[in-house]
Amino acid sequence: MKPLLAFLLLTTSFSFAQTPDLALARDKNWLVIQGPHLPKGEIRINYLEAYCRTHSTTADWHDTTIGHTTELLSVSEDKKTMKLRCTVKDGVIVDHTITASADDVTFAINAHNPSATASGAHWAQPCIRLGDFTGYDNKGKDIDDYLPKCFLFLDGKLTRMSDIKPWIKEARYIPGQVWCPKDVPRTDVNPRPLSPLVPSNGLIGCFSGDEKQLFAVAFDPYQELFQGVARCLHSDFRIGGLKPGETKSIKGKIYILPNDVPALLTRYAKDFPTQPEK
């Protein structure tokens, strides 16, 4: 083999080896993001955990949720595109087109109310499990052990959750922490401890155990950012109710990137130009 050809083949192989390759799978109610560079090869999302009503902050969780079923419509042969359909018990149909690329996953969601009755579905919960990604095995008794790896943006700055003060510890259900954006009623979020702090943008995420990668998620519009009790993080997307015949669209992104926060913020500002605080 000629030296130049050998060099080109070597550098091309190296380039492909360094490029993350995300794929999608469905396992019962789990949306599974797969990638050889991910800890244990995957990230699992309870997709979707629940559709929820308003007046939820102090309510019993069973009174807040609206029952639903999720149907897998299709997965492309290359495992890059998945289509799901949720049927909510009050009649709403929610179609999800989920697309994986090299280092992100895009969500295109359309919620439609074909019925003659207004829907009480105001928000929904994708529950993203991140114990393995952050370097914890999900078996320890301290379910907050991963908080030093987790972050959101407060006063325009990335803030690790272990550094957030005050950290509220009283609510109908504990532990956990909820951050409510300024345009959402504080009466309408998860009945977990509600922080007085308002997030600067819709990003919530974490660093990998070795700090070489970061994970972040955002939806637009979003109801809340939430740190939960299953070593999970949420950007819970907002529907805002649906009138008879009404359709609404929601978009979302999951980013799995090298640990480069400025690059994350650049991507986020491009993908969600109306969402970051000016």
| Degrees, nearest 5: CA angle 21-276-100 | 15
d(CA 191, CA 61): 7
Please report whether residue 43 resides in a domain: no
Domain count, the chain: 1
Whether 23 maps to a domain, the answer reads no
In a domain, 265, yes or no: yes
Instruction: Tell me how many helices (H) and strands (E) the chain has.
Output: 3, 17
Residue 256 lies in a domain: yes
Q: Is the pLDDT of residue 222 over 70?
A: yes
- 122 versus 276: the higher-pLDDT residue is 122
Whether 126 is in a domain gets the answer: yes
Alpha helices in 106-229 (DSSP H): none
Backbone phi, then psi, for 141, in 5-degree steps?
-75, -25
CATH of the domain at 253: 2.70.98
Three-state secondary-structure class, residue 3: helix
Is-contact 212 124, C-beta < 8 A?
no
Residue 130, number of CB atoms within 10 A of its CB = 26
Tens of pLDDT, residue by residue over 186-195, are: 999 999 999 9
Q: Considering the domain boundaries, does residue 7 fall inside one? A: no
pLDDT at 275: 83
Tell me how far apart the 2 most distant CA atoms of the chain are, in Å: 72
The percent of residues above 90 in pLDDT, for the chain, comes to 89
Using CA atoms in the order 266, 272, 275, 278, what is the torsion angle rounded to 10 degrees? 40
Give residue-wise pLDDT tens across range 38-84: 999 999 999 999 999 999 999 999 999 999 999 999 999 999 999 99
In a domain, 59, yes or no: yes
Residue 246, domain extent: 49-271
In-domain check, residue 132: yes
Tell which residue, 165, 156, 164, 149, has the closest CA to residue 233: 149
pTM of the full predicted structure? 0.92
Task: Give the burial string for 155-186 (b: 16+ CB within 10 Å, else e).
Answer: eeeebebeebeebbeebeeeebbbbbbeebee
